[in-house]
């Protein structure tokens, strides 16, 4: 069973949704039969790659809310994070273009480390206040999860994975993704938002039992008429 997850590194609910999804996977017996593919999505692709904005300023300017409301939102997010093991320090996050971070995720995913890259980038952005558009920072983060730093720098200094990121975003638009996180199961079922763990367990189980369990139990076979499937 294949699950595609559209996500943006600067989306706090994507981080929470990832934690909920991973906790759900630990509760199902068929998790080894699930393939996860991370897909790129940019909440604001027009952000600069060089000019850093604080979260407070960004939310005040983009959403038109007061500084007091922003502080309250950050505090509420911090409390939510504690329930899933996330140390949200969003007041220190550097709002900047996430395009190159998504390129790193594609690079890592090709080497079987997509989830590790997502996790490291989320932590870098939301907890550590790192600049996730900075080439050297991205290379160091990739190296921390076992990727080759020189290869990462070569990728980031080229056009590699630019097309893949753009394709993911276009794909999202074509299937009607308007917000993230967004989970698609076998291109048949969708889960929108950072749903509770129990919801993920139920949805994944229903999809697996409906489309995969019968084949898993019976295995490939041929009938007496010579039909094989």
Of residues 137, 156, 132, the one with CA closest to residue 42: 132
Mean pLDDT of the 125-152 span:
98
For the chain, what percent of residues have pLDDT higher than 90?
A: 90
pLDDT score at 58: 93
**CATH number assigned to the domain covering 2-213:** 3.40.30.10
pLDDT score at 223: 47
pLDDT score at 36: 97
Q: Name the residue ranges covered by the structural domains of the chain.
A: 2-213
The angle formed by the CA atoms of residues 63, 45 and 106, to the nearest 5 degrees, is: 130
The 10s digit of each residue's pLDDT in 142-171 is: 999 999 999 999 999 999 999 999 999 999
**In angstroms, rounded to a whole number, what is the distance separating the alpha carbons of residues 71 and 175?**
35
Q: How far from the centroid of its chain's Cα atoms is residue 170's Cα?
A: 16
The rounded mean pLDDT for the chain is 93
The 10s digit of each residue's pLDDT in 198-216 is: 999 999 999 999 988 765 4
Mean pLDDT of the 63-70 span:
92
Two tokens, residue 95: 């709002």
**Residue whose structure tokens are 């638009």:** 173
Q: Is the pLDDT of residue 79 over 90?
A: yes
The 10s digit of each residue's pLDDT in 19-30 is: 999 999 999 999
Mean pLDDT of the 121-150 span:
98
The angle formed by the CA atoms of residues 88, 91 and 94, to the nearest 5 degrees, is: 100
How would residue 224 be classed by pLDDT, with cut points 50, 70 and 90? very low
Q: Is the pLDDT of residue 46 over 90?
A: yes
pTM of the model: 0.91
């Amino acid at each position: 069973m294949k699950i595609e997850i559209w996500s943006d590194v600067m989306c706090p609910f994507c981080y929470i949704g990832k934690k909920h999804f991973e906790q759900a996977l630990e509760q199902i017996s068929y998790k080894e039969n699930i393939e996860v593919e991370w897909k790129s999505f940019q909440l604001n692709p027009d952000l600069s790659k060089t000019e850093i904005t604080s979260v407070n300023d960004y939310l005040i300017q983009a959403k038109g809310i007061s500084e007091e409301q922003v502080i309250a939102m950050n505090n509420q997010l911090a409390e939510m994070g504690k329930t899933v093991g996330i140390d949200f320090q969003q007041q220190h996050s550097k709002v900047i273009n996430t395009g190159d971070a998504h390129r790193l995720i594609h690079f890592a995913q090709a080497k079987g480390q997509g989830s590790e890259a997502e996790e490291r980038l989320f932590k870098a952005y939301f907890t550590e206040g790192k600049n996730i558009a900075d080439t050297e920072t991205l290379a160091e983060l990739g190296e921390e999860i076992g990727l080759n730093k020189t290869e990462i720098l070569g990728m980031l200094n080229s056009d590699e994975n630019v097309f893949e990121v753009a394709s993911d975003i276009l794909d999202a638009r074509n299937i009607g993704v308007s917000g993230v996180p967004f989970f698609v199961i076998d291109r048949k079922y969708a889960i929108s938002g950072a749903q509770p763990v129990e919801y993920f367990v139920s949805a994944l189980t229903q999809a697996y039992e409906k489309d995969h369990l019968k084949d898993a139990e019976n295995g490939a076979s041929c009938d007496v008429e010579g039909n094989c499937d």
